[in-house]
Chains A and B, each alone.
Chain A
């Protein structure tokens, strides 16, 4: 398995609270991604990073922010969690950002009550 660690693996939080999910990689890959996976929607890109301090929005970025201060860490923050953000979140990494496979972490199951 690619060296990707997501933390926490499970979290229950209350509506309106901030939540930060962490993705840590040991592969020194330049590109990192956050996806969410929901029944009926498959995997959808939230945000991605193409280098330290370089990030951009994906297709479902509203309500989320990201930061990448080091190559190995990519943080996803829900500023004020809502029930619609209950989902399984996956981090992925790739060596290049184009025409190459992305390797996924084990996922974080987030429940907003």
Chain B
């Protein structure tokens, strides 16, 4: 799910299908990851997070999988609905020298759900 220039990756699914959105993160030292959803004209909305000592975490209709070996993160949305249509971002927390870690965002993937 990384973008090239101005063109974000896109994923089109039918309502009711399961969706999988992928993200390759940049830093092997990253220890915390977040998925955000952003609808048009709105700010990013927190969906789910996962720490690096976990491989999988489930929420309501969403599951995040973390593969540290290949620095890959995925977001699975079950029974996708038209209201899930949005841009989805992954973010990684890169440990810093202070108490603040640096949150770095991916470019995003556009999910379109067709009724």
Structural contact, B44 and A42, CB atoms closer than 8 A = no
Structural contact, B100 and A50, CB atoms closer than 8 A = yes
Structural contact, A101 and B49, CB atoms closer than 8 A = yes
Name which of A11-19, A61-69, A71-79, A102-110 contacts chain B.
A102-110
A-B contacts, CB under 8 A, total:
60
Select one of B34, B49, B101, B108 contacting A42, CB under 8 A.
B108
Tell me the B residues contacting A by CB distance below 8 Å. Answer: 3, 5-6, 31-32, 34, 36, 41-46, 49, 51, 89, 91, 93, 98-103, 105-108
Could you name 27 residue pairs across A and B whose Cβ atoms are closer than 8 Å?
A: A31-B100, A40-B3, A40-B6, A42-B3, A42-B105, A42-B107, A42-B108, A43-B44, A43-B91, A44-B105, A45-B102, A45-B103, A48-B100, A56-B98, A59-B102, A92-B43, A97-B99, A97-B100, A98-B99, A98-B101, A99-B32, A101-B46, A101-B49, A102-B103, A104-B45, A106-B42, A107-B41
